[in-house]
């Protein structure tokens, strides 16, 4: 097990190198450059030339990439082109916001999705089954953008239950330590801020969770249906076990393998969805930051941001593989 994890961690490096090369090439092959966008209509050729020189954009591509790698090896992510801030600091400020949002959305989609899936599978072709699968279809097809606005109109503007956007209300003070607001509020024993931050998290998290919830629900349902037809379930029932025990102890555990894979993959979907969710809900996270960077061709932000997300993805996949073994001891990781 230990060797397996170590090997997977070692694979991380070539993966990231590959990602960095692809991203770097894609960036420099797409038209448009940051200097032109930074200066806009008033750009003069001299000013452009000076800025390109300053940013190192006029050097050969290979040299630029080499420089980027060299810095990376020294754990120096460089400086952003637009805000002239260390990329590492920008990430530290924004990443926690995205993680807070994604984890909340993941929790919602796992619990909701698995529960809906189980109930649908055990009551196949019932009204509940039809309704929940219809809901899942709608959830997958609904544009996040539109859904977010509808939630806002209903729950914030009309009912007044939840705040519209942002992470914290104006006037609520919070001493920021980790930039995970919920955690910071707990660390500083600030219950008012905790409640406020939690309230702000609900709408964006629910919006972001709709697609993964739908996918997890459908996946759980079909996996459960398959398992429930197996002989050992019949045996378990024949033994006189309670339906609860049959479903949760015998069926669910075996049905979970494909579900866990799906959930792991959903994390990528979440990060992608985070771009839209963060924009609508004015959530100051990585998604919105990366999106702006692409529009502004802030190479440093895009390069480092994609590396970060790719790295995260690899780590989550690793976690999923390890989870297989935990859920089903018959699978051994080597």
Partner 1 sequence: MNRTRTLCLCLALALGFALSAQAAPKPGGTLVFGRGGDSVGLDPAYETDGNSFMIGDNVFEALVFYKDESVELEPGLAESWTISPDGLTYTFKLRRGVTFHDGTPFNANAVVFSHGRQMKERKVKFFGQGWEIPPQERTPEYWVSMEMDKTVEAIEAVDEYTVVYRLKRVEAPFLANLGMDFADIISPTAFLKNPKEFVRNPVGTGPFRFVKWVKDDQIVLEKNKQYWDKRGGPYLDRVIFRAIPENSVRFLELKTGNIHICQFPNPADIELAKKDPKMKLVSQPGMNIGYLGFNHTKEPWKSNVKLRQAIAHAINRKAIVDNIYQGQGQLARNNIPPTMWGYNEQVPLIEYSVEKAKALLAEAGYPEGKGLEEITLWSMPVARPYNPEGLKVGVAMVADLAKVGIRARVVSYEWGTYLKRQREQPPDMDLFQLGWTGDNGDPDNFLAVLFDGLASSAIRTQWHNERYHELMVRGRQTTDPAQRAEIYKQANLLLYEEMPVIPIAHSTVTWPMLKKVMDFKLHPTASIRMKNVWLEK
CB 38 within 8 A of CB 299: no
Q: Which two tokens stand for residue 205?
A: 């998290």
Residue (132 or 277) nearer to partner 1, CB? 277
157 binds partner 1 (CB under 8 A): yes
Rounded to 5 degrees, what angle do the CA atoms 96, 100, 103 make?
A: 130
Among 84, 229, 330, 334, binds partner 1 (CB under 8 A): 84
Among 284, 312, 316, 328, binds partner 1 (CB under 8 A): 284
Residues 293-332 that bind partner 1 (CB under 8 A): 297
Total site size for partner 1, rule CB under 8 A: 51
Residue (177 or 282) nearer to partner 1, CB? 282
Among the candidate windows 1-9, 19-27, 81-89, 305-313, which touches partner 1 by CB under 8 A?
81-89
Among 12, 59, 128, 165, binds partner 1 (CB under 8 A): 165
Task: Reduce the secondary structure of the chain to three states and give it as a string.
Answer: CHHHHHHHHHHHHHHHHHHHHHHHHHHHHCCCCHHHHHHHHHCCHHHHHHHHHHHCCCCCHHHHHHHHHHHHHCCCCCECCCCCCEHHHHHHHHHHHHHHHHHHHHHHHHHHHHHHHHHHHHCCCCHHHHHHHHHHHHHHHCCHHHHHHHHHHHHHHHCCCCCCCCCCCCCCCCCCCCCCHHHHHHHCCCHHHHHHHHHHHHHHHHHHHHHHHHHHHHHHHHHHHHHHCCHHHHHHHHCCCCHHHHHHHHHHHHHHHHHHHHHHHHHHHHHHHHHHHHHHCCCCCHHHHHHHHHHHCCHHHHHHHHHHHHHHHHHHHHHHHHHHHHHCCCCCCC
33-62 mask for partner 1 (x: CB under 8 A)? xx-xxxxxxxxxxxx--xx--x--------
Alpha-carbon distance 76 to 90, whole Å?
13
Among 94, 200, 218, 250, binds partner 1 (CB under 8 A): 94
Q: How far is the CB of 279 from partner 1 (least distance, A)?
A: 5
Q: How far is the CB of 164 from partner 1 (least distance, A)?
A: 5
Residue (97 or 309) nearer to partner 1, CB? 97
Among the candidate windows 61-69, 84-92, 198-206, 232-240, which touches partner 1 by CB under 8 A?
84-92
Residue pointed to by tokens 């998604």: 287
Q: How far is the CB of 118 from partner 1 (least distance, A)?
A: 36
Among 163, 204, 273, 305, binds partner 1 (CB under 8 A): 163
Among 6, 107, 131, 149, binds partner 1 (CB under 8 A): 149
Among 289, 299, 306, 318, binds partner 1 (CB under 8 A): 289
Residues 244-283 that bind partner 1 (CB under 8 A): 279-282
82 binds partner 1 (CB under 8 A): yes
Residues that bind partner 1 (CB under 8 A): 30-34, 36-47, 50-51, 54, 82-85, 90, 93-94, 149, 152-153, 156-157, 160, 163-167, 170-171, 176, 279-282, 284-285, 288-289, 292, 297
């Amino acid at each position: 097990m230990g060797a397996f994890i170590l090997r997977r961690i070692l694979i991380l490096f070539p993966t990231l190198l590959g990602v960095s090369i692809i991203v770097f090439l894609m960036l420099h092959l797409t038209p448009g450059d940051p200097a032109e966008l930074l200066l806009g209509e008033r750009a003069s050729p001299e000013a452009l030339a000076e800025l390109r020189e300053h940013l190192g954009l006029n050097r050969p591509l290979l040299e630029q990439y080499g420089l980027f790698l060299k810095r990376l090896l020294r754990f120096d992510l460089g400086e952003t082109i637009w805000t002239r801030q260390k990329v590492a600091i920008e990430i530290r400020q924004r990443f926690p916001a995205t993680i807070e949002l994604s984890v909340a959305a993941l929790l919602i989609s796992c619990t909701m999705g698995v529960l809906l899936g189980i109930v649908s599978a055990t009551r196949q072709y019932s009204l509940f089954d039809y309704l929940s699968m219809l809901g899942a279809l709608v959830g997958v097809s609904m544009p996040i953008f539109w859904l977010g606005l509808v939630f806002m109109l209903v729950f914030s503007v009309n009912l007044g239950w939840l705040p519209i956007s942002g992470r914290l209300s104006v006037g609520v003070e919070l001493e920021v330590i980790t930039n995970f607001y919920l955690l910071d509020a707990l660390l500083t024993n600030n219950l008012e801020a905790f409640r406020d931050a939690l309230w702000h998290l609900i709408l964006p998290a629910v919006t972001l969770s709709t697609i993964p919830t739908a996918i997890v629900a459908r996946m759980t349902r079909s996996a459960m249906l398959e398992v429930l037809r197996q002989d050992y379930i019949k045996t378990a029932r024949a033994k006189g076990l309670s339906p609860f025990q049959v479903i949760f102890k015998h069926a669910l555990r075996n049905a979970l393998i494909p579900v866990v894979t799906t959930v792991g993959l959903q994390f990528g979907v979440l990060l992608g969805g985070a771009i839209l969710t963060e924009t609508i809900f004015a959530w100051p996270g990585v998604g919105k930051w990366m999106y702006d960077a692409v529009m502004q061709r802030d190479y440093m932000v895009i390069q480092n941001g994609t590396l970060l997300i790719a790295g995260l993805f690899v780590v989550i996949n690793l976690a999923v593989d390890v989870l297989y073994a935990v859920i089903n001891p018959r699978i051994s990781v080597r």
